[in-house]
Amino acid sequence: MRSLIRNLVSLLVVAGLLAGCGTSSNSTGGSRGLLSPRPSPSASYISALQGGIVGRTGVTLSASDRSRALEAEYRALEEARGGQAVSWKGDDANGQVVANAPYQVGTQNCRQYRHMVTIDGKDVTARGAACRNSDGTWTPLT
């Protein structure tokens, strides 16, 4: 529980620090330009992932490890270049999230991604896709 509170406080501090940051789009169609404006990684953006695809792995994660895994999913979707791994390490598990290049579905930017989790020496992978909403949150596709 203490780790979860520490993680949430850290997320809120980072969100506050990033609130004043600006981003600019680029003309090359890179992920920053396509996905801007970039929101802060607050708890509401993480919870909008609805458990993310890490929930589809079937593994049971502690609350703090689940929080780290979901933050990595959000960062991969929001910030990472296509094919770039976003790693996380928890108390009992670790993993990597790799999002593919963004693509358009109607007016929404979407990305396919995979989440590899290692727990108790076993590797498990889940695959999925998510689309970015106008408020900056990501909604997984079912």
* Nearest CA among 101, 119, 98, 97 for reference residue 110: 101
Identify the bridge partners of residue 108 per DSSP, sorted by sequence position. 105
Question: Following CA atoms 32, 36, 42, 44 in sequence, which dihedral angle do they give, to the nearest 10 degrees?
Answer: -130
Q: Evaluate if residue 96 carries a pLDDT over 70.
A: yes
Q: How many CB atoms lie within 10 A of CB 56?
A: 16
pTM above 0.75, yes or no: no
Report pLDDT digits (tens) over 47-88. 777 778 888 788 899 999 999 999 999 999 999 999 999 999
**What's the structural domain count of the chain?**
1
Q: Residue 98 sits in which domain range?
A: 2-140
Burial of 112 (0-12, 13-18, 19+ CB in 10 A): middle
